[in-house]
Amino acid sequence: MQSIKLVAQAEFDKLAKRKAEIEATDLARTMWIPRGMTLFFTVQLAVGYGAIFHVPWLGWDLVEPLTFSVGQGSFIIALLYVLRNRGVDVDLYTGLEEHWSKQKAKRWEAKYGFDLQRYEFLKEKLARIEKQLARAEKQRFE
């Protein structure tokens, strides 16, 4: 049993190291979207209000249509996202979370050749082996 654990642990450690690398890369890639949107809306707010209060010929009557257009564009982007994922069961947060994890698994398999299901299987297998070893140790000392 101990040898099986060592083999599974070696493979799991290798996969865990690769998973950590992929997660770091994936997080950096994923986080540019909210950071970019935050930067965009902050710049829009600063430029819009700065223009209203500091540029004499540029008042709210000229800035408001731009603000409205940006807001409507954001709504359209959100609507396209919802339409793209319309087949997902989103009654509960867990349905959307499960959908995102499946998408991530597919993306990782295609892009990095990483088998997320194998990783989860090895994790569960190691937990089962640990339980069996603990039970065997307990029986040995009884």
pLDDT at 136: 85
Domain residues of the chain, as ranges?
2-140
Q: What is the pLDDT of residue 76?
A: 92
CB 19 within 8 A of CB 115: no
The CA distance from 8 to 2, in Å, is 10
Structure tokens at 138: 């307990």
Q: 87 — phi, psi (to 5°)? A: -85, 0
User: Cα 22–28–33 angle (5° rounding)?
Assistant: 130
pLDDT single digits (tens) 74-124: 889 888 877 877 766 666 556 666 777 777 778 877 888 887 788 888 889
Which one-letter amino acid corresponds to residue 118?
R
Asked whether the predicted pLDDT for residue 13 surpasses 80, the reply is yes
pLDDT tens per residue, range 39-84: 988 888 888 778 778 888 877 777 788 778 888 988 898 888 778 7
Q: In terms of Cα–Cα distance, which of 124, 126, 83, 119 is closest to 101?
A: 119
Burial per residue of 9-43, b for 16 or more beta-carbon CB atoms within 10 angstroms, e otherwise = eeebeebeeebeebeeebeeeeeeeeeeeeeeeee
Alpha helices in 55-115 (DSSP H): 60-84, 93-112
Residues 6+ apart with CB under 8 A from 44: 67, 70
